[in-house]
Structure 1
Amino acid sequence: MRSLRLLFLTIAPLCAAATFTSETIFDWRTPSTPQISPDGRRVVYTLETADRFADAFYSNLWMVSIDGKDHRPLTSGKWKDSLPRWSPDGGEKLAYVSTRAGKPQIFVRWMDTGAEAKITDLENAPSSLSWSPDGGTLAFLTRVAAKPGWQITMPKAPEGATWAEAPVVETRLKWRADGIGGIGQRPLGFSHLFVVPVTGGAPRQITEGDFDHGGEPGWMPDGKSIVLHAARRADADTTLYGEDIWRFPLDGGKPAQLTKVDGTETNPVVSPDGRYIAFTGFADKGFSSHNTNLYVMNADGSGLRQLARELDRNVLAPRWEEGSRGLLAIVEDSGRSHLYRVPLDGPAAALTKGNGRYATAYAASESFSVSKAGQVAVSYSSPNEPKDIVTFAIGGAIKRLTAANGGLMAGRSIGKVEEIRWKSFDGQAMQGWLIYPPGFDASKKYPLILDIHGGPHAMYGVEFNHQMQIFAGRGFVVFYPNPRGSTGYGEEFGNVIHGNYPGDDYKDLMTGVDAVIAKGFIDPKKLCVTGGSGGGLLTAWTVTQTGRFAAAVSQYPVTNWITQTGSSDIGLLMMRWMKAAPWENPQQYIARSPVFFAHKVTTPTMVLTGEEDWRTPIGQSEEFYFALKARKIDSVLVRVPKEPHGIRGAFPSHRVAKVEHILGWMEKYTKSLVSGKLLYEKL
């Protein structure tokens, strides 16, 4: 009888609806960057998929008609396509970037015949692609190697000799960037503007100098000049901010600086009639967080003014209406992101509503597009809906054009998502969300994962979160809050932690955990905490302040602000947060560094990081791990090879491994096991 009962216990779970597992990472499909044709009839977008055999991510172009009836791939292969851009002549051609020829190059496709041509042979990847008004030229940015700042003369190697790789000499402060200047990709160089005929030929470099240029090239309607943002100043290498809007003549004339605000002005967009230039940015107030505001000026730089001043929120990715009377933009607010219309002469008004996010998600953002007649194509996600492409006419109903993960979602049980609000230690109103395990029973006790976002000036929200659904599928309640310092709640809320990070944000997190426990279904002996980047810092800080958690996983954290400042690709920002350089006020850095409080840690802690992370370099993880191990705290260091910050690189198996290491560590110390074997049971 006993054996029969065991048989039924084995079979029963097979009858239940499937949940999300780490293996579904290989099956996940991500549509993005929708581009609507000028006539508003078609949308081209990129679709990223994973190949579990090659252990690689690929992306191809798909096209769907505006009524959703004609939906088909434009490209298909084991490469990466990106940056699709319609030609202005009604969409007769499509330009895009592809790795099909090896290195990323620009391709042009003639839509009537399907014929394609590779029109560049670049050493470095092109970016920020845009068409000239007459459709005859493409503008793009690409990195150009910097001239050596220091050289020596070496003796000539003997004929047939094989000498070691030469030393690399750096003379810049900003000599690397995470995910760009990684191992094997030096020197970083500078980003410059080029133009190339659509029919092919040698690209012509327009900008010069040891300066970086950015934004999508904005053509003036006469096709004679392009606007970009750039930090073209002598102290650009040692200045935190400093981008201005510039206009660059294509005939070799002198560049014109259009803005001179003490702060940063970026991503200019030219109005269809050529009278105005809009851009995003802020005046530097000396804080670590500023709202990204929307500005407009005359094409010559005069008449600068801020739009949508009533919005104490980030205003992102502006796009002009065809009539040049206003712009569309994304506004982030309390975990949601919506499309707004911003007129030139009045307050902004929301075009979308509801419990979702358009164009943005945590740690990700993309542009949307608008046809000449005002038809919009944009990505959208909600707590129960993975990201897809939707379209609507301004003032009209929203239509979904894709169901990228429809097959994966069908018949699968997902965790219910619920908003939670509470008051922090000082009465400050706080917001977060809970994901319940599928089949949740409020009469039972569940283990809890506190998942802390990075940034710290970022925002968790109401998009579908695949990784957290995997956590919930393994039997955990997941709590993901927005502590003070998060964006989406106003500039003052974001700057409360300026010079005080970590600090009161930790208290927000703990009072949030208390509020969740008060609901009655959490086992207070089975609390876990994790987070990445700034969330990794707060995870490490948490275990130095309390022993209430059964297990912690600190992902790619900051643990020593002094060494972080000197080794990170954003060291200048570290000094802004700390209000001083480490040699000026080392105690300020020490007081906020978890490694200096490691003697207080009792929580079993995993430290997980990418080996090619230049944002929070691997030394940050190694220092904390060393301190824990030296004190005989149960701990492990997980090093993920060839991965930058966030472990967001090219290997699907690494994303799976990341999830399994996190869950395996937590399951070991909470003894919460839905399926499989404890990964760390013998440690």
Structure 2
Amino acid sequence: MKTTFGRAALLTAITAGALAADAAAQTRRLSLDHYMDMESVSNPRISPDGSKIVYTRGWVDKVNDRRESSLYMMNADGSRKRALVDGGGARWSPDGTRILFTAAGEPSGSQIFVRWMDEEGATTQITRLENGPSSPRWSPDGEWIAFTSRVNDRADFAGVDLPSRPDGATWTTGPKIVERAGYKRDRQGYVDTGWTHVFVVPADGGAARQLTTGDWNHGGIAWSPDGSEIYFSSYRAADWDRPEHWQESEIYAVSVASGAIRQLTERRGPDAGPVPSPDGSLIAYSAGDEHRDTYRNSRIHVMNRDGSGSRLISGDYDRQSGGFQWAPDGSGLYFNVSREGYRQLHFVSVDGGVTQLTDGAHLFSLSSFAEDGTAVGTIATDHEPGDLYRFSLSTPGEVTRLTEVNADVLHGVTLGEVEEVWYESTDGFRIQGWIVKPPDFDPDREYPLMLAIHGGPHGMYNGGFNFAFQEHASNDYVVLYTNPRGSTGYGTEFANAINHDYPGADFPDLMGGVDEMLRRGYVDEDNVFVYGCSGGGILTSYIVGNTDRFRAASANCPIVNWMSAMGTSDAIGYLRTFEKPFWEDPEEWMDRSSIFYVGNVTTPTMLMTGEMDLRTPMGQTEEFYQALHYEGVPTVMVRFQGEWHGTSSRPSNFLRTQLYLRKWFEQWGTQRASVTTEDGDDGGGDGQRGGEDDGS
């Protein structure tokens, strides 16, 4: 079925039919049980000849409380869908006879596999790495696979000689020795030793050969079309880890035969993401100038293969861009852009200038295309979680739907209406947001309101399907989520408007959204609640110290004291968002730290954080919790087990997050509801974006 994708296609035919059939019946609403049955599709890869599509299908493993994925294949017309093998990240070999993918393997962790795409389907494990691979890429002739992987090292200060150990003695394991500024990373733990390097391995298996060496990290790899070199980004300087070089990266080329390295760029600022043109004469990359701003969008450049002749081709186009893919004729690059709450396909010409190719209230992403220009990608809308589509690069607005993976789960379920809203804020800024209304919405009724705040702070809520918000709405909440200044997708000036003023500069944008909702007449002004995780938790803790207009709040995975956080968080880069270090001038640090406003808090405030969180460490939650107790403010601390940053990487923890949030709001609101928790109590929870944690 071909359609010109736009607002009219926001609901699938099956959902529309189900709604019509159930119109006279009692409304079936979204529930947390539905979440455990939801599936996802991603990373569609079309074969070079355009006949087959391989893609990743994800689901919830209810028994082991984790998300899993498998590779599926179908014909290019969407027929004959079938499972291939567990794993993900598939890529076709240049001749279309094989795919590479990653999956759990020996000796442990993720490994690279190759599967032949004939009837036999023979599969071989290609790597046996101590540390898993990243970004595997076929060589142009299909004989090799390049990838990056971490190479273990030991600290220079590590070795000491102990006295002889008595026979049979059991002594404590030696200490971890820390020498680098960045010595830990959320979801990984302590990473002080080791470096990420570039490797190649024969595509039929064998020993992996390390191409880069030295005490630097390397990433963003791409083969030259003739297969002689691999391009990557790094900053291979002796003083690479000095604070003044935090933005620096350059593009290099390493010879596959000899390991010799050429530096291709040499400028102040980040150069990354090299992508060579089909004939190998040009290399496209993203670049930005050195700056002291909180945020700037990068621009698109091209240079000759030897690094000469670098020039800007995206002009003054100022949006967050990614996924660069050269047109087959080398005339320019296709890329995806997230802007103003949606995602569209764009094209940039090597002669200069950016053209938007798609339009509509959707999240449109190009994944790959065949030699004849037949392309595949994903599209999501406010009522559809996302499915696979086929289209032509020449007419990307005309799409053919290939999957409907959640039609069975959502069949007969009435979702809440999603309304886009814009409103005026201070300093001349216009703010975009969305409202999710309960099913069977009655404009003459007054509903409790949840204001949800995204993380980042340089992130962006979008108009796509959000299970968390829809599930809250199904429990008769109106949910408002907005993109205050600091959000991406609206240009550098908007995103950088919080420079040296976060949290705080975005406060009026959020309050303006609440004012807009109260003017509409269907929000109960006595039951207005606020929550957020990460950057949203930071803002929530700031909000309750600066206004008492909310009935209750939940500040999840927050930073409340920038001074103590910078000594304990893995996000040491935040040091650079202040004018001076706090030991030189603590005034700005205190002004932007919610802990110093805790004496003003009267709002009952819950805190929810993962116990393994290294981004917004548990100590930050504990500081605010103890201070609220001291001030006599109602509070509770929910410490999530098995969680790093955020509270919903485990499916069961997503359910708890939703339930505990509503439980807290219902405890302090004047409206009451009843939701059963795993312990049999009434409950509620905090919503994350579609079940994924917001990043700080």
TM-score bucket (shorter structure): over 0.9
Residue 274 (structure 2) pairs with residue 264 (structure 1): no
Are 1:305 and 2:311 counterparts?
Answer: yes
Alignment match of 1:229 (pick from 233, 250, 253): 233
1:626 matched residue in structure 2: 626
**Pairs within 5 Å for 1:336-415:** 336-359=342-365, 368-396=367-395, 397-415=398-416
CA distance in structure 1 between the aligned counterparts of 2:237 and 2:612, rounded to whole angstroms: 30
Q: Which residue of 2 aligns with 1:579?
A: 579
How far is 1:461 from its partner? 1.1
Distance apart, 1:672 and its partner CA: 4.1
Secondary structure at the counterpart of residue 164 of structure 1: coil
Contact 2:517–2:523 (CA<8 Å) still a contact in 1? yes
Cα shift readout 1:255-281 (whole Å, capped 9, x = no counterpart): 111112211111111111101111123
Q: Report the Cα offset of residue 673 of structure 1.
A: 4.6
Q: 2:207 matched to which residue of 1?
A: 202
Is 1:322 the equivalent of 2:328? yes
Match status 1:84 vs 2:90: yes
Equivalent of residue 162 in structure 2, options 137, 154, 175: 154
Q: Distance in 1 between matches of 2:344 and 2:674?
A: 39
Most deviating of 439-448 and 167-176: 167-176
Distance change in 2, residues 1:567/1:281 (3 Å): farther
CA offsets 1:496-528 (integer angstroms, 9 cap, x no match):
110011112001100110011100000011000
1:577-616 equivalences under 5 Å are: 577-616=577-616
Query: Which of 97, 100, 108 does residue 95 from structure 1 map onto?
Result: 100
Q: Which one-letter code corresponds to 2:329 in the other structure?
A: G
- Note the residue ranges of structure 1 that are not aligned, 5 or more in a row: 1-13, 360-366
Q: Secondary structure at the match of 1:408?
A: helix
Task: Look up the SS of the partner of 1:237 in the other structure.
Answer: coil
Equivalent of 2:74 in 40, 64, 71: 64
CA offset at residue 242 of structure 1? Answer: 1.2
Q: Are residues 477 and 484 of structure 1, via their aligned partners in 2, closer, same or farther at CA, if it must alter by over 3 Å?
A: same
1:349-408 deviation line (CA, Å, top 9, x unaligned): 22221001123xxxxxxx722222222222221111112122211133211222121111
Report the equivalent of 2:3.
none
Which secondary structure state, in structure 1, belongs to the residue aligned with residue 587 of structure 2?
helix
CA–CA distance in 2 between the matches of 1:16 and 1:583? 63
CA distance in 2, matches of 1:661, 1:622: 18
Please give the per-residue CA displacement for 1:452-504, whole angstroms capped at 9, x wherever unaligned: 11111111111111111111111110000111111111111111110011112
Instruction: Measure how far apart 1:100 and its partner are.
Output: 4.8
Query: Which stretches in structure 2 are left out of the alignment for 5+ residues?
Result: 1-23, 685-696
Deviations 1:307-355 (A, max 9, x none): 2224221121111111111110012221111011111114222222100
Partner of 2:665: 666
**Identity level (%):** 39
Tell me if the contact between 1:17 and 1:413 (Cα under 8 Å) persists in the aligned partners: yes
- CA shift, 1:197, in A, is 0.3
> The residue matched to 2:124 in structure 1 has which SS?
strand
1:173 aligns with 2:172: no
**Whole-Å Cα distance in 1 between the matches of residues 140 and 537 of structure 2?**
46
Of the three residues 96, 111, 124, the one matched with 1:105 is: 111
1:150 match: secondary structure: coil
Equivalents in 2 of 1:188, 1:339: separation in Å?
A: 40
Q: Which residue of 1 aligns with 2:446?
A: 445
CA shift in 2, pair 1:458/1:681, >3 Å = closer
What is the rounded CA distance, in whole Å, between the counterparts of 1:188 and 1:27 in structure 2? 40
Compute the RMSD of aligned alpha carbons.
Answer: 2.0
1:530-572 Cα shifts (integer Å, max 9, x gaps): 1111111000000001111111111111111111222222212
The superposition leaves residues 617-662 of structure 1 with CA deviations (integer Å, 9 ceiling, x where unpaired) of 111111111111121211111111221212353x211111111111
Q: Distance in 1 between matches of 2:377 and 2:47?
A: 13
Deviation at 1:674, TM superposition (A): 4.8
Question: Map of 1:416-431 to 2, 5 A cutoff?
Answer: 416-431=417-432
In structure 2, C-alpha distance between the alignment counterparts of 1:49 and 1:558, rounded to whole Å = 32
Report the Cα offset of residue 671 of structure 1.
4.7
What TM-score results when the alignment is normalised by the length of structure 2?
Answer: 0.91
**SS of the residue 1:492 aligns to:** helix
Relative distance call for 1:417 and 1:156 in structure 2 (3 A) is farther
Residues 115 and 160 (structure 1), Cα distance of their counterparts in 2 relative to 1, 3 Å cut: farther
* Residue 46 (structure 1) aligns with: 56
Contact 1:474–1:673 (Cα < 8 Å) also in 2: no
Q: Does 1:500 align with 2:506?
A: no
Contact 2:105 2:128 in 1 (8 A): no
Q: 1:278 is matched with which residue: 284, 291, 304?
A: 284
Q: 1:491 to 1:186 in 2, by over 3 A?
A: closer
The alignment status of 1:288 with 2:294, answered yes or no, reads yes
Partner of 2:647, secondary structure, is coil
- For 1:225 and 1:429, how far apart are their aligned partners in 2? 47
The answer to whether the 8 A contact 1:475-1:674 is kept is no
1:186 to partner: Cα distance:
4.5
CA distance in 2, matches of 1:162, 1:26: 46
| 1:129 aligned partner, one-letter code | P
Q: 1:164 aligns with which of 150, 172, 177?
A: 172
SS in 1 for 2:288: strand
Could you say which residue in structure 1 is the equivalent of 2:693? none
Equivalent residues of 2:182, 2:570 under 8 A apart: yes
**TM-score of the superposition, structure 1-length normalised?**
0.92
Indicate the SS of the match to 1:513: helix
Match of 1:34 among 26, 44, 49: 44
Hey, what's the Cα distance between the residues in 2 that align with 1:541 and 1:333?
27
Distance in 2 between residues matched to 1:23 and 1:667, nearest whole Å: 21
